[in-house]
Amino acid sequence: MFESLVTLSVRVFAQAAEANVGHLRTHRGDHEVDLIVERDDHKVVAVETKLSATVDDDDVKHLHWLHNEIGEDLLDAVVVTTGPHAYRRPDGIAVVPAALLGP
C-alpha cells in the first residue's frame, strides 16, 4: 500500500513534467529499482520506497548499482520513507518522507 501511494504521487509529478515512470528489474532479478522517472533526454531519477523511518546501506545498494551502470544520466537517487525529516546521506542519496510528496 505504501509503495502504491508513493508511486501515485510520483506519477502525478512526472506527468506534469512530461516524464515517464517505470520500474527496473534485471533479467536475473539481481537488481531492482522501484521507480524510474525518465525525461525525454533519457536522464533519470531513481526512487526506492521504504516502509520505515530509517535507511541503511542495504536499502540503497540498487541505487548505487544503477549509478555505476548509467553514470551522469542518473540525475538523482531518492529513498522515500515514513520518516519525519528529509536529508541527503553522505553517499549523496536523498531521503525524503512520503509526507513531503503531497501538493
Which three cell numbers, joined as nine digits, stand for 28?
536475473
Which three cell numbers, joined as nine digits, stand for 53?
523511518
Q: Where are the alpha helices (DSSP H) in the chain?
A: 2-16, 61-70
Which three cell numbers, joined as nine digits, stand for 16?
506534469
pLDDT at 61: 98
Question: Could you identify the residue written with the cell 520500474?
Answer: 23
Which three cell numbers, joined as nine digits, stand for 52?
520505515
The domain over range 2-101 is classified in CATH as 3.40.1350.10: yes
pLDDT in tens, 16-49: 999 999 999 999 999 999 999 999 999 999 999 9
> Which sequence spans correspond to the domains of the chain?
2-101
